[in-house]
Structure 1
Amino acid sequence: MLLDLSASSLDITRAICDIPSVSGAEGRLADEIEEAVRAHPHLEVIRHGNTIVARTNLGRAQRVVIAGHIDTVPINGNVPTRRIAIEGEEFLWGRGTVDMKAGVAVQLRLAAELTAPIVDITWMWYDNEEVEASKNGLGLLAADRPELFQADFAILGEPSNGQVEGGCNGTLRAIVRTRGVRAHSARSWVGENAIHGAAPILARLAEYRAREIPVEGLGYREGLNAVRITGGVAGNVIPDLCEVEVNYRFAPSRSIAGAEAHVRSVLAGFEVEITDAADGARPGLDAPIAQQFLAAVGAEARPKYGWTDVARFSALGVPAVNYGPGDPHLAHHDEERVPLAQIEDVERGLRAWLSGA
């Protein structure tokens, strides 16, 4: 089947959502996208694994990257898609509609339609966003073809309810350990219970109050939470080890080193191992091209609380924002659904900006 990029963004969304592309199995959808965009001679098409790049080369004074991931979390009886109505509002229901194939569909339609945009555009559709960073198609492309990321501005089509979400929070994960001494539970007094020893860790985390940090006019809400706890040997043994996994979401004004120092200060006195960390991205909305974008799409600038791939662009010195249809609260939800009106609004906004209308 050849994707019809002259169809409506809604129809393209349905078509690509009904092609399963769970992380690691994006090959068929990548093939369909590559074949569809290669049919348009104004686009130079590059394939890197299951990441497809299509770009104009019109010699414009500025270049914009517009990107979206084509993978989804696992399907759970929510494909094929279907149209539904809730309290008079129409939605497209199904896996990937929010995160983030509606955004990808808008991008595909505009990539085919806009033969003479006012800026040169590099469109990127990439794989493996929903899994570990080492597999992320955007990251792998940046490592092998960094020249493709040279741009003045970038837009990631992550769901943002059709508003503009600037930058993103950083994220850090740590394991906090308590150690004890094993003993028979019938004679617990001769041992030391490591799980009991973790109680102060949980108390500190429960008492922690999230802060809102202003960054370039946007307020980023932080959070420090226990996300997993493990420990125990057997039903009759006092445990000698307990591990609490902690996730810290921190404002983009803070570095990874600063985030680590903060976590260690909150959990002072305990053994802390940092297992993973990624910088956030500053809003990037002070650049003139970003202000032009905001004005053209008529959207309200908001902070992005989660981590997204805008951080990859920010690390390369390219200001980047999130802008796409769909409610982020419904990403990965079994009732994932996107309002049809938001698909149309995002398409209209991007077209107006890119065409100078």
Structure 2
Amino acid sequence: MEDLVPAAAKLIGIRSTADRPEELHRALELVLGLVGPGFPVRRFTSRGKPSALVGADDPRIVLNAHLDVVPGTPEQFAAYRDGDRLYGRGAHDMKCAALVLATVFRQMAPRLPYPIALQLVTDEEVGGFDGTGHQVAQGVRAGFVVIGEQSNLRIVTESKGILRVRLTATGRTAHAAYPWLGENALLAVTQAIGRLLERYPVPASEQWVTTVNLARIETGNQAVNIVPADASAWLDVRFPPSGHDLVAELREIAGPGVRLHVDATGAPHHADPTSTEVRALRRAAQSVGYDGALLRKHGAADGRFYSAHGIDAVIFGPGGDGQHGPAEYVDLRTLRPYHDALCSFLRAVV
């Protein structure tokens, strides 16, 4: 797939982060340009986030890719190659995979005896609600979905759910020399965080358990000698299927005097590992020299929007490492096997 490297470098150079809507459009148009003319394109927009469905409205298979990335430093958007590695923001998560999926769609859609579609979205990194979620809410369905997130040609049939919550507290201001005259809202929030982390401590190693990440704490107070009267904290919670009301449990742990607001939620995702499609995808991966092992993924993915409607979706992508980090790269050696496995899978599905 050497011919994709220049396009990948150009796509990586587009700073397609959530706060740059014009760059989201640029990334989407670049990939649509790679697909080329001759296919129907259904466009969507939700809260400023553009997306597209290329191909059939009632596809047997959807190939799903997101083109947005997390923020990074300017140099991370200047792709560079070191041997078999292509470095840059989004190289692994998941711009190179998106280009492979677009190529596979362009090559295979006219040849298959059933309809397929390419789903391109630009908001997966901020929850997916305005891309895949919006399209599904507008009636987009499929028989099976392949999401090109990184997996080194392994197949992810389970991923955790996500809760994004805020803790807020309101206290009473006072002079810092007389703290007993006030109520410290910041202290109330940090004590609630302590209780939550005591219940859900950070695992020492990989475990299939609920995790709580403290992302940010804020207060409007700007003076050291004042008891803060307001405070907020943002938490990212990832959870496997549990069968109980996690929000109610978090609210109880936070305790009185601290309010818990749910900003976003997504259910855990599951696909039947014994389905015809998953077995065909495993055989396709094995046919190009990979084991096609089944995985569980700790990060939430857009497959949950399909899973909620009883549609199996899996993650199947190329190799690499460092996603969201300063040294993110895609392993270029995996792109050809990835392409060939996808083509083999599509030919095998009936």
Q: Please indicate the TM-score interval, normalised by the length of the shorter structure.
A: 0.7 to 0.9
Name the SS of the counterpart of 2:311 in structure 1.
coil
| Residue of structure 2 equivalent to 1:321 | 314
| Residue of structure 1 equivalent to 2:30 | 32
Counterpart AA for 2:299: G
Distance between the aligned counterparts of 2:180 and 2:202, measured in 1? 41
Cα deviations by residue, 1:173-230 (Å, 9 ceiling, x for unpaired): 3333444432211222333333334453233233234699xxxxxx843202332222
| Residue of structure 2 equivalent to 1:348 | 340
**Cα displacement (A) at 1:34:** 3.0
Indicate if the aligned counterparts of 2:158 and 2:295 stay in contact, CA closer than 8 A.
Answer: no
Distance between the aligned counterparts of 1:159 and 1:63, measured in 2? 23
Distance between the aligned counterparts of 1:210 and 1:189, measured in 2? 31
Distance between the aligned counterparts of 1:97 and 1:278, measured in 2? 26
Q: 1:350 to 1:178 in 2, by over 3 A?
A: same
Cα deviations by residue, 1:78-106 (Å, 9 ceiling, x for unpaired): 23322114xxxx20111221121111111
Which stretch of the first structure deviates more once superposed, 149-158 or 229-238? 229-238
Indicate if the aligned counterparts of 2:183 and 2:229 stay in contact, CA closer than 8 A.
Answer: yes
| Residue of structure 2 equivalent to 1:160 | 151
Match of 2:89 among 88, 95, 102: 95
Counterpart AA for 1:325: P
Indicate if the aligned counterparts of 2:280 and 2:348 stay in contact, CA closer than 8 A.
Answer: no
Is 1:171 paired with 2:162? yes
Name the SS of the counterpart of 2:86 in structure 1.
strand
Q: How does 1:186-201 map to 2 (within 5 A)?
A: 186-201=177-192
**TM-score normalised by structure 1 residue count:** 0.80
Percent identical among aligned pairs is 24
Indicate if the aligned counterparts of 2:251 and 2:260 stay in contact, CA closer than 8 A.
Answer: no
Counterpart AA for 2:183: E
Q: 1:338 to 1:181 in 2, by over 3 A?
A: same
Indicate if the aligned counterparts of 2:105 and 2:117 stay in contact, CA closer than 8 A.
Answer: no
Cα deviations by residue, 1:293-330 (Å, 9 ceiling, x for unpaired): 22322311111111111111112221111111244x62
Distance between the aligned counterparts of 1:339 and 1:79, measured in 2? 17
Q: How does 1:1-357 map to 2 (within 5 A)?
A: 8-23=3-18, 24=21, 25-39=23-37, 41=38, 43-49=39-45, 50-55=50-55, 63-74=60-71, 76-85=74-83, 90-114=84-108, 115-117=110-112, 119-131=114-126, 133=128, 136-144=130-138, 146=139, 149-209=140-200, 220-231=208-219, 233=221, 234-251=223-240, 253-254=241-242, 258-276=245-263, 277-298=265-286, 299-327=292-320, 330-356=322-348
Counterpart AA for 1:231: T
Q: 1:289 to 1:210 in 2, by over 3 A?
A: farther
Distance between the aligned counterparts of 2:6 and 2:345, measured in 1? 23
Q: 1:150 to 1:143 in 2, by over 3 A?
A: closer
Counterpart AA for 2:41: V
**TM-score normalised by structure 2 residue count:** 0.81
Q: 1:318 to 1:193 in 2, by over 3 A?
A: same
Cα RMSD, aligned residues only: 3.0
**Cα displacement (A) at 1:270:** 4.9
Distance between the aligned counterparts of 1:56 and 1:138, measured in 2? 16
Name the SS of the counterpart of 1:47 in structure 2.
strand
Distance between the aligned counterparts of 1:241 and 1:18, measured in 2? 40
Distance between the aligned counterparts of 1:102 and 1:281, measured in 2? 24
Distance between the aligned counterparts of 1:184 and 1:210, measured in 2? 35
Distance between the aligned counterparts of 1:186 and 1:159, measured in 2? 54
Q: 1:78 to 1:192 in 2, by over 3 A?
A: closer
Name the SS of the counterpart of 1:112 in structure 2.
helix
Give the aligned length: 330
Cα deviations by residue, 1:265-295 (Å, 9 ceiling, x for unpaired): 4334453322222222123324222222223
Name the SS of the counterpart of 2:178 in structure 1.
helix
Cα deviations by residue, 1:158-187 (Å, 9 ceiling, x for unpaired): 122332122321111333344443221122
Indicate if the aligned counterparts of 1:34 and 1:47 stay in contact, CA closer than 8 A.
Answer: no
Counterpart AA for 2:53: V
Unmatched segments (≥5 aa) in structure 2:
287-291
Indicate if the aligned counterparts of 2:88 and 2:327 stay in contact, CA closer than 8 A.
Answer: yes
Indicate if the aligned counterparts of 1:118 and 1:356 stay in contact, CA closer than 8 A.
Answer: no
Q: 1:273 to 1:266 in 2, by over 3 A?
A: closer
